[in-house]
Structure 1
Amino acid sequence: MPTRRDLLAMTSGAVVGAATAGVAVPASAHATGAWVATWAAAPTTIPPTPPLVLERQTVRHVVHCSAGGDEIRIRLSNEFGDTPLHVGAIRVARRAGDGASTATVPGTDRRVTFGGRGDVSIPPGAPLVSDPVRLRLPAGGDLAISLYLPDRTPVTTLAGFSFQENVIANGDVTAARTVTAVSTVTQDLFLSGVAVRAGRAAVVTLGDSITNGANTQNNLNHRWPDLLAVRLRAAHLDLGVANVGISGNRLLHDPNPPAGSDAVGFANYFGHSALRRFDRDVLAQPGAGYVIVLLGVNDLGHPGTVAPPSEVVGSDDLIYAHRQLIARAHQAGLSAFGATVLPFKGDTLGFYSETNERKRAELNRWIRTSGEYDGVIDFDRATRDPADPLRLNPTYNSGDGLHPNDAGMAAMAAAIPLGLFR
């Protein structure tokens, strides 16, 4: 049975063939080929604390793209809002410079429309996908995406940890080459995706804070999915990478912080469980052909710390959840790759116990040996301490015994067999 990526390739070929045979192509079809995700952020709701409120302000996001192309689409999200989201203007340009720069490249600024409209209202619970925008985006390039919010707008839909500094400026400065920031946020506000009309397929990385990039340096794009994209480009594999990791995410449970605990102030950023968000965050990615799943450590570590002890799970529960993700990926035509859970003995977050280590080992053994995933990525072996395999390698430890540092992220990316994508 053809996979989704096979069908995408056949569809692209059919379109090109029809065009060269002289069949009329609609005027709106500026280019051929399928849309492929080049950047993504998985949206969540916010904690029950007063939200950030924007009014007559512009938020400029910097997004680091994987695949390139001559046309792009932008996806906004009001999926956790309970009132319409009014966006007065949105513009996109190539980002100039690197690091924390939010300046734009001269001559690349483009107005973004949605069904021909530049001023739009997004219904509660809905996303909104833009019209195609003609803009040459090189593979590995950065975009500056600016949203103007004219009305009083509580920020209720966001990606809570972007590890990229985005800026807020007064007024509608969406078209400005440089903006004067009144504040900086390391979150993606109402922005959830960019797609390009190029590429063969997208690799979607589904995970938690380790996939999201926790404890890596801001503004450097050293998350392991970013570094995987670098390797794919170097190998001339025409693939986008869409990172939908959410810090604190679990396979089986939504956030459920104990009443009165500090976790009440941040746990909602952990997002819906992977079982709940899989269709929205993975299967809905344009051109999704592969999914890499790295999940399970928070299911082990959260109960009794930032979740109630009643949510303790066994390795059989984790395997059940992984099997469900595999089934849903296969039903949609995606290849699914399982990644082993990294070691965390000696962590500073209270996750480690002998019981949790036994469950981790049982889950990893199943991922490696069951044959149920289409391929295995052994992050455990890539990051463990040779002297004590239950701990992170000290060279890769960011300091908390759980999250890899930038060097650890590089080791993870290097451990991914590129043959999985050929």
Structure 2
Amino acid sequence: MLTTTTWLHTFTNYSNLNNINSSGHQILKIFQPVDTKKIRLQLNNLYDEVPLRISHLEISNSHQNKASITLNGKTEFAIEPRLVQWSDWIDFNSVANEFLTIKITSPTQTIHSLGMTISNDLIQTEVQGPDSKYFYGVSGIQVQTETHHKRLAFFGDSLTNQGNFSAPLAVNLENQFHIMTANYGISGNRILHPGHSTSQWSKSFGEAGLTRFDHMLVDYQPDIVIFMEGINDLLHPGTGSPIEELPTADAIIKALTILKNKCLRHGITFIPMTITPAWGNINDSLPAWNEQKENLRLAINQAILKMPHSIDLASLTSNEENHLRNIFDCGDHVHFSISGGFIVAHYIQEQLIRRKII
């Protein structure tokens, strides 16, 4: 039997959020793409300084199968600070293309190690209130399978993390092409700089993409990487981050070339996507875009288009004035709407098929 990671979602440090688990309960529904009889969960407390106490962790599906998740044989346990670990393997019959329900009971109310999603295509959270897009405790699922599956990593910032394009695309890739996916998007993430801002969200922006990319390669060992990052390298300087951190186009292009070559050495297909528009965005209460940043974006995109396997999302999503087209705009002039995300997902899938990558 082979161990297959069927779902993985990057957690980050939301140190500014308190009492995220005020009810003591959380329900997640996660899309499960393959048949299995054994399963385990990745338990995540990577950014907290106190143990994450789990009173009960239960998994079930629509076929009335239900089981308790254990750690070291115990149904009640704690995840120690700064750790990510796998639960015990448990017997659990699950069929392909169904949602698994994961119920967590925990007395720990303030938890900073969190994942985030806006799309409900791949991850559904059943938490009431304004923090319903955040979830804790479980960041991955592994199953035992009889066949090998290719692995694809979505690597990027909030456009990837929110899931409006990556989640429906992930479901299609898993369901139709039997390619497993992982979301390595972090909101606010930059290629060249770690979180460094006056924003209350600064710690959640994570380490620089240029270095965390290496962790992704080692931990997940993907066959394909869909890369969409660079917009925050332009947005943040002058709006929370020092304007001196605004990079040159050459600096971004050099970083992308380094990442491309790392993938080439490991036999990984690297698919960079052009940086989409940001005219009109307000960041840290300040206008985040100007002619200088736009010229940098256009120069970077010209270089990306010369790379093998690149996908031109900028042309798809831009209007005649190089603004984000209304159908793609969630309202902040940077992030995709739900309907726009579906169009992007379909376009990327079409490109992957046309180029015989899938």
* TM-score w.r.t. length of structure 1: 0.73
Work out whether residues 164 and 338 of structure 2, in 8 Å CA contact, stay in contact via their aligned partners in 1: yes
1:89 and 1:332 map into 2 onto residues whose CA distance is 40
The alpha carbon displacement at 1:301 in A equals 0.6
* Residue aligning to 1:319: 253
Counterpart pick for 1:367 among 304, 309, 324: 304
After superposition, give the CA deviation of every residue in 1:372-393 in whole Å (9 maximum; x if it has no partner).
xxx21221122122x33x1222
* Residue aligning to 2:231: 297
Work out whether residues 167 and 184 of structure 1, in 8 Å CA contact, stay in contact via their aligned partners in 2: no
**What runs of 5+ residues in structure 1 fail to find an aligned partner?**
1-31, 95-104, 169-180, 214-221
Quickly say closer, same or farther: Cα 1:34–1:335, change in 2 above 3 A: farther
Structure number with larger C-alpha Rg: 1
Quickly say closer, same or farther: Cα 1:125–1:340, change in 2 above 3 A: same
Work out whether residues 291 and 337 of structure 1, in 8 Å CA contact, stay in contact via their aligned partners in 2: yes
The alpha carbon displacement at 1:149 in A equals 1.9
Work out whether residues 44 and 272 of structure 1, in 8 Å CA contact, stay in contact via their aligned partners in 2: no
Counterpart pick for 2:51 among 73, 84, 88: 84
Counterpart pick for 1:269 among 204, 213, 216: 204
Counterpart pick for 2:2 among 29, 33, 43: 33
Task: Establish whether residue 225 from structure 1 lines up as the match of residue 166 from structure 2.
Answer: yes
* Residue aligning to 1:69: 35
Task: Establish whether residue 200 from structure 1 lines up as the match of residue 169 from structure 2.
Answer: no
Q: Secondary structure at the match of 1:116?
A: coil
2:307 and 2:92 map into 1 onto residues whose CA distance is 45
Superposition CA RMSD, Å: 2.7
The alpha carbon displacement at 1:184 in A equals 6.1
2:213 and 2:2 map into 1 onto residues whose CA distance is 25
The alpha carbon displacement at 1:127 in A equals 0.4
Q: Secondary structure at the match of 2:85?
A: strand
Work out whether residues 167 and 183 of structure 1, in 8 Å CA contact, stay in contact via their aligned partners in 2: no
After superposition, residues 274-289 of structure 1 pair within 5 angstroms as 274-281=209-216, 283-285=218-220, 288-289=222-223
Q: Secondary structure at the match of 2:301?
A: helix
The alpha carbon displacement at 1:56 in A equals 8.7
Which residue type is aligned with residue 75 of structure 2? Answer: G
Which residue type is aligned with residue 267 of structure 1? Answer: S
* Residue aligning to 1:418: 352
Which residue type is aligned with residue 242 of structure 1? Answer: A
Q: Secondary structure at the match of 2:297?
A: helix
Work out whether residues 232 and 239 of structure 1, in 8 Å CA contact, stay in contact via their aligned partners in 2: yes
Quickly say closer, same or farther: Cα 1:153–1:142, change in 2 above 3 A: same
Q: Secondary structure at the match of 2:223?
A: strand
Q: Secondary structure at the match of 1:415?
A: helix
**What runs of 5+ residues in structure 2 fail to find an aligned partner?**
none
1:347 and 1:384 map into 2 onto residues whose CA distance is 14
* Residue aligning to 2:191: 251
Work out whether residues 276 and 324 of structure 2, in 8 Å CA contact, stay in contact via their aligned partners in 1: yes
Quickly say closer, same or farther: Cα 1:163–1:406, change in 2 above 3 A: closer
| Number of aligned residues | 345
Quickly say closer, same or farther: Cα 1:143–1:306, change in 2 above 3 A: farther
Q: Secondary structure at the match of 2:71?
A: coil
Q: Percent identity?
A: 24
Counterpart pick for 1:122 among 79, 83, 89: 79
The alpha carbon displacement at 1:303 in A equals 0.7
Task: Establish whether residue 166 from structure 1 lines up as the match of residue 125 from structure 2.
Answer: yes
Which residue type is aligned with residue 297 of structure 2? Answer: R
1:370 and 1:376 map into 2 onto residues whose CA distance is 6
Task: Establish whether residue 155 from structure 1 lines up as the match of residue 111 from structure 2.
Answer: yes
The alpha carbon displacement at 1:204 in A equals 0.8
1:364 and 1:292 map into 2 onto residues whose CA distance is 15
Quickly say closer, same or farther: Cα 1:53–1:237, change in 2 above 3 A: closer
* TM-score w.r.t. length of structure 2: 0.85
1:230 and 1:271 map into 2 onto residues whose CA distance is 26
Which deviates further from its counterpart, 196-205 or 298-307?
A: 196-205
Counterpart pick for 1:133 among 90, 93, 101: 90
1:183 and 1:392 map into 2 onto residues whose CA distance is 27
Counterpart pick for 2:293 among 356, 369, 372: 356
Q: Secondary structure at the match of 1:376?
A: coil
The alpha carbon displacement at 1:351 in A equals 2.8
After superposition, give the CA deviation of every residue in 1:199-258 in whole Å (9 maximum; x if it has no partner).
512211011111123xxxxxxxx7212222344356x41111212212211112122223
Work out whether residues 115 and 130 of structure 1, in 8 Å CA contact, stay in contact via their aligned partners in 2: yes
Which residue type is aligned with residue 165 of structure 2? Answer: W
1:276 and 1:191 map into 2 onto residues whose CA distance is 24
